[in-house]
């Protein structure tokens, strides 16, 4: 797909991934976090910790630390931007849409309209590379688990 100015949409998406991979947003410690989760992908070595500040069911702060490939770092960065100041229910719904986008490349399931995801649509190209889907979904799987857990104690998630 191209825009009127000849810009290729896939190229714009690649630029978003590269930018967030090199300069991740919300990377660092979150001193007043009241929920934490650790995630790792032992197959490729991606490792991260997500810290959230949840007040009255709203994610008012989120940050991550860790290391990994550009896709895992970009995905975590994009995720933190997308869920800041959203309710836990809305963040869970966003997880569902991103997960569907990442895992329906083969035509399984309902397709997700990239327009409804904004910059997160940049992650959609990852679905064409099954070995990279776990890299892109690691932060999202961790977020889902920390949202779904009733206890705000530290937890861990592993994608394999």
CB 77 within 8 A of CB 27: yes
Helix (H) or strand (E) holding 126: none
Number of domains in the chain: 1
Strand boundaries in 20-154, DSSP class E:
35-41, 46-55, 58-67, 86-87
Residue 31 falls inside a structural domain: yes
Q: Which residues span the domain enclosing 141? A: 9-158
pLDDT in tens, 55-102: 999 999 999 999 999 999 999 999 999 999 999 999 999 999 999 998
Residue 19 falls inside a structural domain: yes
Measured in degrees and rounded to the nearest 5, phi and psi for residue 106 equal -80, 5
Residue 94 falls inside a structural domain: yes
Q: Euclidean distance between the first and final Cα of the chain, in Å?
A: 33
Please state the pTM of the whole predicted model. Answer: 0.85
Q: Return the structure tokens found at 40.
A: 């790792």
Question: What average pLDDT does range 101-122 have in this prediction?
Answer: 75
pLDDT in tens, 21-61: 899 999 999 999 999 999 999 888 999 999 999 999 999 99
Give the CATH number, domain containing residue 38. 3.90.1010.10
Task: Using alpha carbons, select from 155, 153, 159 the residue that is nearest to residue 40.
Answer: 159
Q: Look at residue 126 and tell me whether its pLDDT is greater than 70.
A: yes
Residue 132 falls inside a structural domain: yes
């Amino acid at each position: 797909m191209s825009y009127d100015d000849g810009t290729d949409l896939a190229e714009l998406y690649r630029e978003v991934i590269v930018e967030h991979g090199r300069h991740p947003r919300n990377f660092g410690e979150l001193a007043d976090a009241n929920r934490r989760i650790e995630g790792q992908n032992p197959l490729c070595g991606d490792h991260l910790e997500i810290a959230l500040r949840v007040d009255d069911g709203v994610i008012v702060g989120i940050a991550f630390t860790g290391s990994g490939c550009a896709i895992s770092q970009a995905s975590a960065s994009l995720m933190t931007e997308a869920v800041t100041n959203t309710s836990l229910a809305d963040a869970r719904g966003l997880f569902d849409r991103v997960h569907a986008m990442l895992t329906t490349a083969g035509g399984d399931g309902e397709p997700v309209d990239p327009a409804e995801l904004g910059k997160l649509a940049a992650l959609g190209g990852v679905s064409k590379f099954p070995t990279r889907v776990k890299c892109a979904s690691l932060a999202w799987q961790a977020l889902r688990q920390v949202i779904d857990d009733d206890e705000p104690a530290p937890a861990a998630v592993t994608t394999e």
